[in-house]
Amino acid sequence: MDGTKQCLEAGAASAPVAGARDWRTPLELLALGAVWGGSFLFMRVAAPEFGPYALVELRLALGAMVLLPFLWLARAQFPLRIWPKLAAIGVVNSALPFLLFAWAAQRAPAAIGAICNAMVVLFAALVAYLVFGEKIGARRAVALLTGFIGVVVLATAKVSGLSIGPAVFAGATAALLYGVGLNLVKRYMAGLPPAASAAVTLGCSALLLLPLAATHWPAGAVSAQAWGSAIGLGVLCTGLAFIYFYGLIHRIGAARTSTVTYLVPLFGALFAWVFLGEPVTLAMLLAGALILGSVAISQRAR
């Protein structure tokens, strides 16, 4: 749930419609987990050739274009006076996390970013406690501690003899920013149509990042594989995945939809192993188990 879990908390009040518990739901959650897990594969392929700025610019712009029809239909609900606030939320909840994950993808296997991404749920709870005064409870405090231990285990690991600590730090920081963003969305974007709001935040972020992307555009030719990965990252893993995500929240509720958190690291590691031959080490498995276990404890506490 690359970044893209933008309106999970905002949709928490959505009631599942009748008949939501059917055979479709597990398949739809698997599909969404596979798409978001695939985003880390796409970044791993495209980031070395594009660099983080150009790649994220493409991702933001393509995602915004996919969601633009929703903004057009709801344009009356988006007066110009709220656009600066939405742009600021977009920087925190989209542009910066995307850049950090793309930077990490240049330096570590795709599974590293996917595992770090699972910390979003924990960081959202921590930010809500520290900044907004929400209660955290003993069970969720234990979950946070367990998750952070998992990050430490991951940061101190080596893959193919190389340290991945900086990439883990970047991925964990991106997850923290997603956690901040979820709290901002919950408090300042409630009542706005989620898909249209995402179009605004992604589009504004693309405009703000454009100068950096232009000055850091790759000087040499970019392979067709990297272009395909960049387009898949923007169109499929950002724009279309957001639409699918919001549809699931409306149909089965935010709580059940959030279980996709457990699937993203699994698909991220699986795809990287199958398509790129990247190893899955014992330390990565241990860290993933600690982080996903902590997420399970945290969600049970809710």
Does 270 have pLDDT greater than 60?
yes
Can you name the residues that pair with 159 across neighbouring β-strands? 162
Question: Strand, coil or helix: what is 163?
Answer: strand
Task: Report residue 137 as tokens.
Answer: 């409870």
192-247 pLDDT, tens digit per residue, is 999 999 999 999 999 999 999 999 999 999 999 999 999 999 999 999 999 999 88
126-145 pLDDT, tens digit per residue, is 999 999 888 888 888 888 89
68 occurs within a structural domain: yes
Q: What is the pLDDT of residue 210?
A: 98
User: In which region does residue 173 sit, left (phi positive, over 0), alpha (psi from -120 to 50) or beta (all else)?
Assistant: alpha
Q: What is the pLDDT of residue 254?
A: 72
13 occurs within a structural domain: no
User: In which region does residue 33 sit, left (phi positive, over 0), alpha (psi from -120 to 50) or beta (all else)?
Assistant: alpha
140 occurs within a structural domain: yes
pLDDT band at 302; cut points 50, 70, 90: low
Percent of the chain with pLDDT over 70: 91
Question: Strand, coil or helix: what is 162?
Answer: strand
Percent of the chain with pLDDT over 90: 66
Does 19 have pLDDT greater than 50?
no
Alpha-helix runs per DSSP H in the chain: 24-50, 52-73, 83-90, 96-105, 110-117, 120-130, 137-155, 165-188, 194-215, 224-231, 241-252, 254-257, 263-276, 282-301
Question: Strand, coil or helix: what is 87?
Answer: helix
Q: CA angle at residue 252 from 246 to 255, to 5 degrees?
A: 85
Residue type, 302: R
DSSP 8-state class, residue 17? P
User: In which region does residue 253 sit, left (phi positive, over 0), alpha (psi from -120 to 50) or beta (all else)?
Assistant: left
Does 258 have pLDDT greater than 70?
yes
Q: What is the pLDDT of residue 249?
A: 83
Does 25 have pLDDT greater than 60?
yes
- Of the two residues 233 and 29, the one the predictor is more confident about is 233
Does 4 have pLDDT greater than 70?
no
236 occurs within a structural domain: yes
DSSP 8-state class, residue 80? G
76-111 pLDDT, tens digit per residue, is 999 999 999 999 999 999 999 999 999 999 999 999
115 occurs within a structural domain: yes
146 occurs within a structural domain: yes
Does 21 have pLDDT greater than 80?
no
Does 271 have pLDDT greater than 70?
yes
Q: CA angle at residue 96 from 95 to 99, to 5 degrees?
A: 85
Whole-number average pLDDT of the chain: 89
| Chain mean position to CA 101 | 9
Q: What is the pLDDT of residue 16?
A: 47
Q: Are 279 and 43 in contact (CB under 8 A)?
A: no
Find the domain containing 48 and state its range: 24-215+224-301
Can you name the residues that pair with 18 across neighbouring β-strands? none
Q: What is the pLDDT of residue 298?
A: 80
What is the total count of domains within the chain? 1
Residue carrying the six token digits 């946070």: 144
User: What are the CB-based long-range contacts (under 8 Å, 24+) for 272-275?
Assistant: 272/40, 272/41, 272/44, 272/109, 272/110, 272/111, 272/114, 273/111, 275/41
158-180 pLDDT, tens digit per residue, is 876 678 999 999 999 999 999 99
Does 57 have pLDDT greater than 50?
yes
Mean pLDDT, rounded, for 15-35: 73
96 Cβ neighbours under 8 A, 6+ residues apart: 174, 177
1 occurs within a structural domain: no
Q: What is the pLDDT of residue 235?
A: 98
Q: What is the pLDDT of residue 11?
A: 45
- Of the two residues 3 and 271, the one the predictor is more confident about is 271
17 occurs within a structural domain: no
Q: Are 40 and 101 in contact (CB under 8 A)?
A: yes
